[in-house]
Amino acid sequence: MKSASVAEVRTHFSSYLKDTATGPVVVTRNGRPIAMLVGVTDEEEVERLMMAHSPRLQEILEAGHRQIQNGGGIPAKEFWANREKRKAAKAKANGKRRAKSS
């Protein structure tokens, strides 16, 4: 893993961006890490990184975890059965819309 000062990164930004292809680059100020440049390969990876650092998503996940710990929620089989029902209903509705527009 590379490390570079803010001044070095500012001066050679393109070079450090290329370096992220082989691993993260730690950005330092006065010898202390303050940021990290991380290369991404696709939009899904960007989305995953953004979600991992989303305070709102973390709150939602934590609330869900507390609800499950307190006996809330539904069994996995029921969840997936409901999901399949909704998916089938959506596919049926989309089929009707396509038939009307034809």
42 lies in some domain: yes
36 lies in some domain: yes
Domain count, the chain: 1
Residue 97 has pLDDT above 90, yes or no: no
Half-sphere exposure of 5 (CA within 13 A, CB side): 6
64 lies in some domain: no
63 lies in some domain: no
Note the pLDDT of residue 101.
Answer: 63
Per-residue confidence band for 75, with pLDDT thresholds at 50, 70 and 90: confident
67 lies in some domain: no
| pTM score | 0.56
CATH number of the domain encompassing residue 27: 3.40.1620.10
Distance CA 7, CA 29 (A): 9
97 lies in some domain: yes
Distance CA 27, CA 55 (A): 23
In this predicted model, what pLDDT tens digit does every residue of 9-67 receive, in sequence order? 999 999 999 999 999 999 999 999 999 999 998 999 999 989 999 999 999 999 999 99
Per-residue confidence band for 3, with pLDDT thresholds at 50, 70 and 90: very high
Note the pLDDT of residue 74.
Answer: 86
Could you list the residue range(s) of the whole structural domain that residue 27 is in? 2-57+75-101
